[in-house]
Structure 1
Amino acid sequence: MQRSTLASLLLPAALCAPPPALANAPSGGAPLALDNVHIVEAEDNRVSALRCVRVEGAAIATITAAGDPACLRGARPNDLEGRYLMPGLIDMHAHLTLGPMEIKQEHGEVVMQALPDDDIAEHNARRLVAFGVTTVRNPAGDLQAAARYKQRLANGEMVGPESFDAGPVINNAGLPGLATAVHSAEEMEQVVSAQVESGADWIKLYTGLSPELLKAGIDAAHRHGRPAIAHLESIAWTDALEMGLDGIVHLMPVSPDLLTPEQRAAWQATARGGTYSFFEWWEHFDPEGPQADGLVAAYRRHRPVFDATLVAFHAAFVQDQDNVHKDDARRYAHPKLLAHWNEWFTFAIGWQPEDFQRARDVWPKVQRMAARLYATDARMTLGTDMSNPWIAPGISLHREMQLLAEAGVPNERLLLAGTRNAADALGAGDRLGRIAPAYEADLLVLDANPLDDIQHTRDIHAVVLDGEFLTTATLDQLKGE
């Protein structure tokens, strides 16, 4: 993004002079020198000695000792005074363009839809950047809306993260804007082919598919050179991985096949439909039992891409109380989405007080399973399910890291999940997710070391986006503050 374009986007039209955020805005395209900064080396669980990182254009040019004259020569210097530098964060589950879930009558029938909204996309994009999220995977959505978003970024019309996109989820039932129905292997091939032609980077398969159609979707995605990810329930994750599935989303494996026969019978005897399974299934699952052991072994063997989205489920489990997720949403979610969640659409529709208590009672089991999976060598990443109830752009990714840390996932693994691992999973590990020469200059400057406390990822001093240094004041503007 051009610097002059960024400035014009952030300046209120009524102001003649730039606000503090842009008072020292650079001009002329001179290199940028980030001096006196420790690089967070999560792979080795340490930080470097003080360095000078030289950025030319949108890429890192050199990394040398702090104060190196060659790094500073002809550059715009930024003395970071011993702060900490890490790659920009990657949210692997951000429905960037998704609008509210709506119900309407059409030809006498009730129809649900989730149409894209470009205004929501821009709102989300600005706040993602403000919280240090420089790349996202949009795991399901309208590909025309995704193309418009990318074009606006390319034209310099807006500020936002780079997006890797899936099309509408492929399921046994359609939902305008969000899901496409298929009923045969032939239809699956047609839908996958059409999505790839429309620019899909991933193929997203969904819970209603039969095992045969799930396998057909995986195979069709691979024929077209695309990875396949899935949100699964009735089909066991272990079976799907054996089929060749590349990735799984959400730590909610509510499959009867992941319970012992006794557990399965007890669950099915009292199970209710809908989202009650979010806690009822966990009441019977043993995260230390043989089924859990088999799942961990499958993750080690197949190394799927995985994002737990704990924050989305935790927000549902505590929805009956005042909580940080609601506070975040009130400050940073788009007003249309916030009104929608306040009016009726949440993941806890119909839950009674005892249901919320049961959900909170199983949370330690969810945490334990998360810790076990994140301890494997699978391609573990971070995601939020942004644009779904009570998930706010940007800040909720920091909440996700905190929840995983509370579950026992080490800080260095969380940082890798949110940077290097995600970039590799996106097929962009040769240009994103690391601090090294020739890598894109998407960077996060922190006031404190996130290896000491993962909550320090929120202590943002500046964000570098495509080589552009965004100060704290600029980030506050992007947040709408």
Structure 2
Amino acid sequence: MSTSEAREPIVLTHCTVWDGSAAATQADQSIVIGADGTIEAIGPHAEVLARLGEYGASAATHVDLAGAVVIPGLVNMHVHLGLGLPGPMQDALHGSSDAELVLRMAGNAREVLQAGVTTVRLVGETRYTDMALRTAITHGAVDGPRIFTAGHALCCTGGHGHDSDGLEADGADGFTHATRAQLRAGADLIKVCISGGIAGEHESIDTPQLTDEEMAAVLRTAHDWGRKVTAHAGPAPVITRAVELGLDCVEHGYELTRELCDLMAARGVSYVPTITVSRCEEFFRANQVPEWMMNRALAAGPRHWESLQHAIAAGVEIIMGSDMPPQAPFDGTTATVREIEFMVEAGMSPQAAMVSATSAGANWLGRAGEIGALVPGAAADLLVLDSDPLADISALRSMHAVVQAGRAVRDDRGMLHALTGSL
């Protein structure tokens, strides 16, 4: 059915709901999904049924979820749909035409959506294929999560990512131009690599890679255009300089200190830890990354974990992002779910970890109340689980249905026929 055709509201009844921010789930709730794919009403079953006259009670289709738990679709804030790690993945990236690359990314996007991630923030793609894919998904030509993208990551000559998704620049003028080039292409945010990382053979994690003048040029230009800036970064001294210059978000933060985390919390700087990337030997071996990279990543693991714990203790806003492909198999689940579980293992409450994976990302993207939440007026992006992740975060492993904008894109048990192809 096309979006121009009217269809009756769908009412999901007898479900336990978590709205993306509350301290607890609410039992015996109902959700009214309108013809436009947004949530029309949500609340206690009896109250919602009493209000159905506003939507045409006789026409509404009821779907009994028999007590299943419904949560917002997940928001993964560190994704590369065209990931090109050193080794065969990078060889495939370099050997692909633009058409081949965007088709590969589209296939990944479909798998990401079916894994329960309904929104992604892309933080480094190449050849502006991300912009083309974003348009195709927006227009309904292909299935995939909502995309917010940085375009190319920005790096110095030979800097982190220069051989994959990085756009090289040097000097304040060079970085100003590179930032404007991403904005011209339609970037929703800017990502800049200010230090080395685990995937650069000729660098180390603590290698500084931008001058203060270069960082300031990126920040000033992006902020003038109303865009936020996030930074690939490892060592505390480099991150401290960037935070003092006005950085909005830190990716990875392999070597954070408590003092730096206190500064980040005071300045309102968010943190996307991507904790999976320093403990995912299974994924590295499956994708034949070189030994030097795997060894560097795993060796960074203990200090990376300490960084996450410093951020938790300091009250830094922590936002979920996997860096690993969100849908990649990992420890018996997906990289996204494992990332959230790691956050809880590091000391976050299940509720805080779930906020980091839903409404916190939406807030950072400037889409509070539109995505990452189950509230009236928000997109009907939702997941159906067997049990409550606020009681036990591993409940995310029981996900069996995914709905995006009121359309079921995964329905393992055939419960949501009324939402299949409804938009």
Q: 1:42, 1:200 → 2: CA distance?
A: 26
Contact 1:375 1:409 in 2 (8 A): no
Look up the SS of the partner of 1:379 in the other structure.
coil
Deviation at 1:44, TM superposition (A): 3.7
Deviation at 1:177, TM superposition (A): 5.1
Match of 2:135 among 151, 155, 159: 151
What is the 5 A alignment of 1:280-319?
Answer: 292-315=257-280, 319=281
Q: 1:453, 1:163 → 2: CA distance?
A: 29
What is the 5 A alignment of 1:65-104?
Answer: 65-66=44-45, 68=49, 70-71=51-52, 73-99=58-84, 101=86
* Structure 2 residue aligned with 1:335: none
Match of 1:472 among 395, 398, 412: 412
Q: 1:49, 1:473 → 2: CA distance?
A: 21
Look up the SS of the partner of 1:432 in the other structure.
coil
Contact 2:312 2:347 in 1 (8 A): no
* Structure 2 residue aligned with 1:133: 117
Q: 1:346, 1:28 → 2: CA distance?
A: 56
1:190 aligns with 2:155: no
Q: TM-score when scaled to structure 2?
A: 0.81
Look up the SS of the partner of 2:40 in the other structure.
strand
Per mean C-alpha deviation after superposition, the further-off stretch among 380-389 and 134-143 is 380-389
Deviations 1:83-113 (A, max 9, x none): 111111011001123456579xxxxxx9x95
* Structure 2 residue aligned with 1:219: 220
Deviation at 1:433, TM superposition (A): 1.4
Inter-CA distance 114–66: structure 2 relative to 1 (3 Å threshold): farther
Deviation at 1:119, TM superposition (A): 2.6
1:397 aligns with 2:336: yes
**Structure whose alpha-carbon radius of gyration is higher:** 1
Look up the SS of the partner of 2:121 in the other structure.
strand
* Structure 2 residue aligned with 1:210: 211
Structure 2 counterpart of 1:415, which letter?
A: M
Deviations 1:117-144 (A, max 9, x none): 2232122212211121000000111362
* Structure 2 residue aligned with 1:418: 357
- Alignment length (residue pairs): 381
Q: 2:15, 2:243 → 1: CA distance?
A: 42
Inter-CA distance 42–473: structure 2 relative to 1 (3 Å threshold): closer
Contact 1:2 1:156 in 2 (8 A): no
1:348 aligns with 2:293: yes
Contact 2:175 2:217 in 1 (8 A): yes
* Structure 1 residue aligned with 2:321: 383
Inter-CA distance 41–225: structure 2 relative to 1 (3 Å threshold): closer
1:242 aligns with 2:244: yes
Q: 2:61, 2:44 → 1: CA distance?
A: 17
Contact 2:326 2:335 in 1 (8 A): no
Structure 2 counterpart of 1:221, which letter?
A: A
Q: TM-score when scaled to structure 1?
A: 0.72
Structure 1 counterpart of 2:240, which letter?
A: T
Structure 2 counterpart of 1:137, which letter?
A: R
Inter-CA distance 99–118: structure 2 relative to 1 (3 Å threshold): farther
Look up the SS of the partner of 2:110 in the other structure.
helix
Inter-CA distance 307–114: structure 2 relative to 1 (3 Å threshold): farther
Deviations 1:227-286 (A, max 9, x none): 111112454322211110111101313xxxx7xxxxxxxxxxxxxxxxxxxxxxxxxxxx
* Structure 1 residue aligned with 2:31: 53
Deviation at 1:390, TM superposition (A): 7.0
Per mean C-alpha deviation after superposition, the further-off stretch among 292-301 and 78-87 is 292-301
Deviation at 1:347, TM superposition (A): 6.6
Q: 2:386, 2:220 → 1: CA distance?
A: 46
% same residue: 25
Q: 1:474, 1:438 → 2: CA distance?
A: 26
1:124 aligns with 2:108: yes
Contact 2:172 2:214 in 1 (8 A): yes
Deviations 1:33-69 (A, max 9, x none): 1111111156342111311110102100012432515
Structure 2: unaligned runs, 5 residues or longer = 196-208, 416-423
Deviation at 1:226, TM superposition (A): 1.1
Deviation at 1:165, TM superposition (A): 0.2
Q: 1:303, 1:30 → 2: CA distance?
A: 43
Inter-CA distance 236–99: structure 2 relative to 1 (3 Å threshold): closer
* Structure 1 residue aligned with 2:229: 228
Match of 2:299 among 335, 339, 359: 359
Look up the SS of the partner of 2:293 in the other structure.
coil
Look up the SS of the partner of 2:278 in the other structure.
helix
Structure 1: unaligned runs, 5 residues or longer = 5-26, 104-109, 259-291, 330-337, 476-481
Q: 2:326, 2:371 → 1: CA distance?
A: 27
Structure 2 counterpart of 1:118, which letter?
A: V
* Structure 2 residue aligned with 1:439: 378
Q: 1:102, 1:371 → 2: CA distance?
A: 32
Structure 2 counterpart of 1:409, which letter?
A: M
1:453 aligns with 2:392: yes
Inter-CA distance 359–98: structure 2 relative to 1 (3 Å threshold): closer
